[in-house]
Amino acid sequence: MDPSAPSECFMMVNSPSLETSAMTSTTEAGVRLFVNQAAVQHNYQMLCQLHPQTDHGAVIKANGYGIGAAELAPILEGAGCKSFYVARPSEARGIAQKLSPTSKIYVFHGHNETGFDFYFNNGFIPILYSRPCIENALTYCKKNTLSLNAALLLNTGMNRLGLDSKDLEALDIDVLKETLNIDSIHSHLACGRTKDHPLNNKQMALFTQLCDQHFPEYPRGLSASCQLVLPDYFASHLTRQGLNIFGAFSPDDLGESHSFFPLQFALKVQAKILQVHTVQPGETIGYDASYTAPSPLRIATISMGYADGLPLSASNSTVYTPMLGGIKTPIVGKVSMDLTTLDVTQVPEEHLDQSSWVDVFYDNMSLYNLATAAKSSLHEIILRLGPRCERIFE
């Protein structure tokens, strides 16, 4: 890729995938997730606009953060995305048939278990992260008299996966370049979402040094979704966009600039009301009688529990509340496996029947508040959505 070439992100958005479809359509679904395809495409193209000289890839590992990688891949390709990142070989196989042959699919790990025939035969790009991994790839190429497309991952301070400076010194870089078709060089920021964290610049300096010394001719990428809050020089030639695709972010990360956030929230989760009844003062609700009614309350039981992704730790939360008809409906009592009880005393009766759906999260702040109440992350809350949740792409 020529780093000076303009981004191809602004392609026509016309895509057959923009028709409404249900990923796991079922008449019994008590929980449903709506995915706004136009918002996903808008977000991807807006990220391209912010850094037009950068190739923006989409990270859709873990089944697209649990939302549906096979559905998201063509939606993003329709917005101009040509690079896709997954964690494991099986995830690459799952999206390959949904993409055009010209799109690239990178696989972060799992290479030794799969064997490199898998990558060569399918055109997938393994991201090699250790000396044994590279040695296995070189042996494979020499044995089969071929050259394998591959990317490299450098450890610049996160200390999970990656080649460090000693690894690079021990490798014959010339042989590496002669044997492999090196696509790009990557690393990962440990504290990228904290804009002013001193480790960011330390990692950037080391990444630049190692790339300049060993791989000056290849495109490089250090930042992921955190690029939204970082200075422009972190963007390099490549970025890997993840949660940004859905317009999800932590207001703490953006600080005062969050009111100017250019992305659109693309997700909405709803749960169906199963029953509404009145609880008298002094009566308790749910397991372990953890909530006692202080006055007569109208209680709605919804068809969503921790098996569906609503965390047990959100029980009796004062930080997070679902909504019904624009009115807050706090969780009272413990979230159980399949059911959760809400205080709907303030909700007009016309909204309280078995055809009503409660908004569990519906904008970025509701997702953020739920994650805060659960002492979790935005990523984990989205990933928690279980298989009983119907995914509807609209």
pLDDT in tens, 60-85: 999 999 999 999 999 999 999 999 99
Domains and CATH numbers, the chain: 37-256 (3.20.20.10), 267-393 (2.40.37.10)
Known catalytic membership, residue 195: no
Question: Tell me: the pLDDT tens digits for 215-267?
Answer: 999 999 999 988 888 888 888 899 999 999 999 988 776 665 555 578 999 99
Residue among 44, 61, 291, 320 flagged as catalytic:
61
**Residue recorded with tokens 């569990």:** 360
Tell me the residue type at 303.
S
If we measure between CA atoms, which residue out of 8, 12, 163 comes closest to residue 78? 12
User: What's the full length of the chain, in residues?
Assistant: 394
**pLDDT band per the 50, 70, 90 thresholds, residue 14:** very low
Q: What one-letter code names the amino acid at 313?
A: S
pLDDT tier at 20, thresholds 50, 70, 90: low
What are the structure tokens assigned to 132, written together?
């044994």
Dig out the tokens for 217 from the structure: 């001719």
Number of helices (H), then strands (E), belonging to the chain: the values are 13, 19
pTM of the model: 0.90
What tokens does 82 get? 């040509």
Query: In Å, how far are 7, 12, 56, 71 from 45, measured between CA atoms?
Result: 10, 10, 9, 18
Residue 340 near residue 302 (C-beta atoms within 8 A): yes
**Mean pLDDT, range 88-106, rounded to an integer:** 96
Three-state DSSP at 201 gives helix
> Would you say residue 17 has pLDDT above 50?
no
| Residue 387 amino acid letter | P
Q: ∠ CA(13), CA(31), CA(273), 5° rounding?
A: 130
Residue 287 appears among annotated catalytic residues: yes
Quote the CA–CA distance of 255 and 348 in Å, as a whole number.
37
Beta bridge partners of 241: 58
Assess contact for 309 and 291: CB atoms under 8 A.
no
Residue 53, token pair as written in the block = 């000289």
* Residue 36 and residue 266 in contact, taking contact as beta carbons nearer than 8 Å: yes
Confidence band for 211, pLDDT divided at 50, 70 and 90: very high
d(CA 148, CA 136): 12
DSSP letter (8 states) at residue 34: E
- DSSP reduced 3-state for 112: helix
* 122 within 8 A of 115, measured Cβ to Cβ: no
Task: Give the strand pairing for 297-302 and 267-279.
Answer: antiparallel
| Phi, psi dihedrals of residue 50, rounded to the nearest 5° | -65, -30
- The answer to whether 141 touches 162, Cβ cutoff 8 Å, is no
When pLDDT is averaged across residues 146-169 and rounded to a whole number, the result is 97
Distances (CA, A) of 121 to 84, 93, 148: 18, 12, 10
Residues 6+ apart with CB under 8 A from 203: 156, 157, 158, 187, 189, 190, 222
- Is the distance from CB of 108 to CB of 130 less than 8 angstroms? no
Dihedral over alpha carbons 370, 317, 362, 33 (to 10 degrees): 70
Lookup: tokens for 68: 């549906």
From the candidates 142, 233, 287, 375, give the one annotated as an active-site residue. Answer: 287
pLDDT band of residue 29 (cuts 50, 70, 90) is confident
Spell out the residues 6+ positions from residue 355 whose beta carbon is closer than 8 angstroms to its own. none
